[in-house]
Structure 1
């Protein structure tokens, strides 16, 4: 890993309350920058979110860590900005995709160094013990359950809701946190956040992207649960920002919602529930106790 002098907190570039990270669809953001097989992952972080967070909170040569790295979006965007990066991924298939994306980025001229470990991030304290106190940024996102929207194709244009789905499962491994109930998911995520905190240098931060989800039609405040969980293990919320999943054009919102998001929203409205398609993710910024930076929430 590259070693550089620690930079003062004042050198960080302030992020706006709302990040225009959805100006281009996710497939456009990844085209050519990631290997085509990356589409297999059903819950990928937007590259623009990772890129803006890394640019704002780190400097060239800094260490960035993603303990639930999926296809390696955090790692790819970090090494393209001359940062070093480490990712941990539970699923071997996605860990291999991360390695392929790292190699692809290096072939494109990325100057940072990165590695991915196929392991359970609940054991970060032992897995990355030699990196304790070295990370400038931990950037990650929790799973949203064992199923997501994935890809869809109508079986027959004339038959309404009958569709073929694929790439909509995180895993078939029942020990994966994505398969666990919300209580167990938050307990596991607490262990991951606690391990992440130990990896941070004194002025380092943890950034989590997360959105509310519906379980059997009921809206669950997952960002709120993440905040409560983080605060229970000693992290301090310093910023709560909005990272747009939609585009903005001529003062209008351009939706990037998937087929199933739109379908679910229509069904809920038909049943009298005032639902809306998700247009942003919460970007939660945490510091370490008394070392936490001042910030703003919105």
Structure 2
């Protein structure tokens, strides 16, 4: 429904690791200003790029998959046809090109790096390999972020063969820290509707069929009901924000501790 409402090109729905348009738009509007540059170093079908253009931001994406390249170009064209006028493009290149002279003009110019954790399959080995690749990408992207910029990773849950969730958060936070980034928020983006205490998933036909096959083979499985969203900031920006925070006010011998900004933001979103 989101892809249809955003006039995405046919075939976009085959990108199982795409960033849903509403998630992309929320991140873009929360962490950038109009006119900022949004970068997706592994853009897939380009949903994040299209939403960046629709919200008045510039967008650059990278991919080496010819199918995703064509779809991302089509989605950028659709956004422009709907009235988006900012610059946007997709490069046939790997993320490591961001560390070359070709990307020198982007150093310190990117307001938001918004990307998804992409694996070739749901197998634990492939998910682990994708995490390692994203760790390298974070190192390439860190010099490109402007002061106050953010890097946001959207990850679809993966499971071990026994059905337990694979921990993707810990290695991603470790990789970001090693790249000079500091974690500032950890969010959950529901992809299911909430009816009282029950979640109603909106899984695709392909996801439901895969779940049926897994159950028939005796492997516990579950339909995806959420995406994990990790938000990082340049480490020195996070340190500066912490150092310049106002001291808590004292009144009538009662210490009033201010709510942490990230926690406050999280509460607003939960509300």
Q: TM-score scaled by structure 1?
A: 0.71
- For these two proteins, the number of residue pairs brought into alignment is 238
CA shift in 2, pair 1:42/1:181, >3 Å: closer
- Divergent runs of 4+, >4 A: 178-184, 249-252, 264-268
Counterpart of 1:295? 262
Aligned to 1:104: 78
Distance 1:265 1:255, change over 3 A: farther
Per-residue displacement from partner, 1:26-75 (whole Å, max 9, x unpaired)?
A: xx101151111323333221111001111111111111100010011111
Q: C-alpha distance in 2, partners of 1:264/1:232?
A: 39
Aligned to 2:32: 58
Which runs of no fewer than 5 residues in structure 2 stay unpaired? 242-260
- Higher deviation after alignment, 187-196 or 201-210: 187-196
Over aligned residues, Cα RMSD in angstroms? 2.7
Q: Whose helix proportion is higher, 1 or 2?
A: 2
Deviates more, 1:227-236 or 1:63-72: 227-236
Q: Deviations over 1:59-103 (max 9, x none)?
A: 111111000100111110010001111001121221121111111
Instruction: Choose from 212, 218, 222 the match for 1:263.
Output: 212
Q: For residue 263 of structure 1, report the CA deviation from its aligned partner.
A: 3.0
- Is the CA contact (8 Å cut-off) linking 1:211 and 1:222 kept in structure 2? no
- Report SS of the residue matched to 2:39: strand
2:166 to 209, 220, 223: 220
Quote how far apart the aligned CAs of 1:140 are.
0.3
Question: 1:254 — aligned with what?
Answer: 200
Which structure would you say has the larger RCO, counting Cα contacts within 8 Å and 6 or more residues apart? 1
CA distance in 2, matches of 1:287, 1:199: 12
C-alpha distance 295-263 of structure 1, shift in aligned 2 (>3 A): same
Alignment of 1:79-98 (within 5 A): 79-98=53-72
Match of 2:91 among 114, 117, 120: 117
Displacement of 1:123: 2.8
TM-score, normalised relative to structure 2: 0.78
SS at match of 2:38: strand
Q: Does residue 1:142 correspond to 2:87, yes or no?
A: no
Which residue number in structure 2 is paired with residue 185 of structure 1?
130
Contact 1:90 1:121 in 2 (8 A): no
1:210 pairs, out of 140, 143, 155, with 155
